[in-house]
Amino acid sequence: MRMNEMKNRIKLMLVRGIVLAALVIFAAGAVSVGAYAAPLDEILAYEINAEVNQDATVTLTYHIEWKVLDSDSEGPLSWVRVGIPNSHYGEVLGLTDNIKSIGYDSDGGSYMRIDFDREYYEDEVVVFEFSVVQDYMYQVDKLEEGYTVYAFTPGWFDDIAIDSMTVRWKADKAYSWTPDCLNLMGNLVWMETNMSPGEKSTFTVTYPNDAYGFDLSKQIEEGDSTSGEDWFYIIIGLVFSVVFPIAIFTTIIRLVSAAIYNASAAFGPKEKKITRTKIVYYDSCPGCGAVRGEGKTTCEFCGRDLIKSKEVIEEKDIKGSEKEAAKFTKEGEFRYTDDPNTFINVHVVPIPRPARSYSSGRGSSHSHRSSCAHSSCACACACACAGGGRAGCSVKDFYRTNLKLSMLFRRGRR
């Protein structure tokens, strides 16, 4: 009897293996086709304003200008999904009249699904805004005792290029931040341009632990502990989820490799686009007369902007009157000329350089579009959009606040 049971189990495993192999081969075919996918949409502007609330939640306000490039292949645009940090959210508001409905979508990650009041066709641009109050975005004493760190990676889009992305984070009570950025009108401002599909950036802001009402039970969780009683299930899980699939994947690795090569061969090595901005500060505040502090862009006393003038240095000027500017090629703000109040701000963006003529093909998607999410790390995205539309992707529950597989992994506690 036991032998028959064992045979039945082996047959069941073989059936599952065949099904898995079919799914893998189907997915590989989708990859090879997707390598030639033509973009269906383009994001002209992607702006996020962030403000920390007294209870340490963050109000994220999104402004997106979404252009339809192709409404024939997959139909017109009627809804999208935009990635948010995780499932721990509060109030959600649609801020523009063209939003018919907005709600949380957990299919494949953490998103907000926005349905529009009409369909959008080729060359039309839909401009929409919404806000969400987000929790579980910080870690107490992460880098240094006594300080709490927020990490924010705006949701990215695996199939859509972003012409311009701007993140403004209210600077009130902030102790430090990375990477370096402009501090304008009380906001930390990060800007990216010409972002390729799948490209992403991460920003961190650090506060003293007493700045807001940080709750140890609402931190981002970085690790999980596994008890001894779970090892049996882990081993079984590894056999069926890792060892067995490896044997199948090796049979199609050439197909996947070819698809990746075809997708990447269209571009040569990356060049750098360097934007240099000459900034002249007042030596003292034009409002209250206070002396400008080192590295300050706004008055510490009255909050007034201390920038006297700001001018982008054009390429023709670098070869002429602004030759010294050519020496500055790294990201950041540096002293410029002998005037102690004149600085140069350098912003570097890597851009792909076409290596040969390329005509992009079609991607896999459905008649609607959605954007998968990470986040936060807004969370923010390393994902293949599941259940897809034509939108982008962001990391699926990047902060690990909604872990499954409870039989295999037990969440660790500090």
Per-residue pLDDT of the chain (414 residues; tens, 9 = 90+): 455 565 566 656 665 666 666 665 555 555 545 545 688 999 999 999 999 999 999 999 999 999 999 999 889 999 999 999 889 999 999 999 999 999 999 888 888 999 999 999 999 999 999 999 999 999 999 888 999 999 998 988 888 999 999 999 999 999 999 999 999 999 999 999 999 998 989 999 999 999 999 999 998 865 444 444 445 555 666 666 666 677 677 767 766 665 665 554 444 445 677 888 989 989 898 888 888 888 788 888 888 888 989 888 887 777 777 778 888 888 888 888 888 889 888 887 765 544 433 333 323 333 344 333 333 333 333 222 322 335 433 433 443 344 333 333 334 444
Q: What are phi and psi of 282, to 5 degrees?
A: -70, 140
Task: Give the separation between CA 283 and CA 290, rounded to whole angstroms.
Answer: 9
Helix, strand, coil percentages for the chain (3-state, nearest 5): 20, 35, 45
Structure tokens at 198: 């799948």
Q: What is the 3-state secondary structure (H, E, C) of 61-83?
A: EEEEEEEECCCCCCCCEEEEEEE
Structure tokens at 346: 């350098």
Task: Give the separation between CA 267 and CA 210, rounded to whole angstroms.
Answer: 49
- Domain 41-218 matching CATH 1.10.3470: the answer reads no
pLDDT score at 344 = 87
Task: Give the separation between CA 122 and CA 118, rounded to whole angstroms.
Answer: 14
For the chain, give every residue range classified as CATH 2.60.40.
41-218
CB-hemisphere CA count at 13 Å for 127?
3
Torsion sign, CA atoms 309, 315, 321, 322:
positive
